[in-house]
Amino acid sequence: MKQDTLCVQAGYKPKNGDPRVLPLYQSTTYFYESTEHVGKLFDLACEGHMYSRISNPTVAALEEKLAAMEGGVGAMMTSSGQAANLISLLNLCKSGQNFLSTAAIYGGTVNLFGVTMKKMGIEARFIDQDKPLEALLAAADENTRAVFCESLSNPSMAVADFEKLSALAKSLQVPLIVDNTFPTPINCRPFEWGADIVTHSSSKYLDGHASSVGGIIVDSGRFNWENGKFPDFCQPDESYHGVTYVKDFGAAAFIVKARVQLMRDLGSAPSPFNAYLTNMGVETLALRMQRHCETAQKAALFLESHPLVESVDYPDLPGNRYNGLAKKYMPGGTAGVVSFSLKGGREQAIRFMDALQLAAIVVHVADTRTCVLHPASATHRQLTDGQLKEAGISPGMVRLSVGIESCEDILADLAQALEKAN
């Protein structure tokens, strides 16, 4: 089935007389007729829900939908996008090991990788994805266990060169993890370009209405865990009475280990209600992405031609440095986020934002309502000037996230605010 059909139909399959809409199972616990059955569940010898920290039927339906949309063998929802990226890396790396990450990524991820994971003894080595493969390879060593990138970076809108990054991961014999939050599986399917693991902040377009914080990890099921670098996948897990992930779960080894080991221990589980709302959001994802992209393209063209605007970062613009990669990997469009810088720098950017009437200043992106943010003083405030530059952010950059209101109204609001900022 096509993506727009999967958005609506995948995940929940009601039986005769069941509710047509995915029910909200707001329950921590499940009922069993015998102690013997509970024992089997704890041995992972039969399928079923045990406790909502590990799994829940409402959450499971959304996981199945996202796995189908990304083309993976399984998925696990988390309480946030941050938890999704953290768990996907902790599932691969331990203290003393490192991973490569492109530098142009979300500010929260820069902190997680560069500060908090560093304290855990796991080193993120930031790489400039525009450099040639040989230069990227030089950053790795025998302790490298993953390559991480964003398919479309927040907020600098750099498009990942999947061919180069998957060649990098392949030659290191480690998985390529792709945070696919911005384009969503409607506009980009990283597994088709060599990615092994996909993550999302579902707080953005998947939910789409700014109602629920959440994350998701999807497993392609294609990585060979028996190449000698990942003994935890091939040897008995002492914290799980000797389960051996590759032997017992085959292609789903990564996602099962993430759930029964890391979700069990770290507990960053989503609430069933958030999964319920996010699933409702995903039903209209294909429609919304189309509209977001159409309006963003018009807004980018308008901004590019405006005398106060110094530069516009939107990969669907013909002159953008990532236009070739966008056409190749995201031929149907990228996302509804347009980042741009004003000639008058930080002060003018702030005057512009304060003059907006329809677009609201919020610490969010990618929902139905048009919004703006000044990355240098908000999401990326913790970054040094050097890190800001690496992340592709200038002090005067405004991140505009176009909503699904009338395009005419959005453009009129931009025009009047630019006039006042002059």
Ligand X SMILES: *Cc1c(COP(=O)(O)O)cnc(C)c1O
CA distance 11 to 63: 7
Q: Looking up tokens 């990283």, which residue turns up?
A: 190
How far from chain centre, in Å, is Cα 234?
28
Whichever of 86 and 414 has its CB closer to ligand X, that residue is 86
Cβ of residue 226: shortest distance to ligand X, in angstroms?
30
By Cβ distance, which residue is nearest to ligand X? 81
Tokens of 280: 């409702």
**Across the chain, how many H-helices and E-strands are there?**
19, 12
Cβ of residue 241: shortest distance to ligand X, in angstroms?
33
Whichever of 144 and 154 has its CB closer to ligand X, that residue is 154
Whichever of 213 and 296 has its CB closer to ligand X, that residue is 213
Binding site for ligand X (CB under 6 A): 80-82, 106, 108-109, 150, 154, 179, 181, 201, 203-204, 213, 215
Whichever of 356 and 373 has its CB closer to ligand X, that residue is 373
- For residues 316 and 323, the answer to whether their CB atoms sit within 8 Å is yes
Cβ of residue 244: shortest distance to ligand X, in angstroms?
32
Residue 366's Cβ-count burial label (10 Å; 0-12, 13-18, 19+) is buried
Whichever of 212 and 297 has its CB closer to ligand X, that residue is 212
Cβ of residue 210: shortest distance to ligand X, in angstroms?
11
CA distance 58 to 69: 17
Mark out the alpha helices in 267-333 (DSSP H runs).
272-283, 285-304, 323-329
CA neighbours within 13 Å on the CB side: how many for 71?
16
CA distance 309 to 340: 7
Cβ of residue 411: shortest distance to ligand X, in angstroms?
25
Query: Could you give the 3-state DSSP secondary structure of residue 386?
Result: helix
Residue 45's Cβ-count burial label (10 Å; 0-12, 13-18, 19+) is exposed
Whichever of 357 and 377 has its CB closer to ligand X, that residue is 377
Cβ of residue 5: shortest distance to ligand X, in angstroms?
26
- For residues 415 and 349, the answer to whether their CB atoms sit within 8 Å is no
Whichever of 154 and 370 has its CB closer to ligand X, that residue is 154
Cβ of residue 204: shortest distance to ligand X, in angstroms?
6
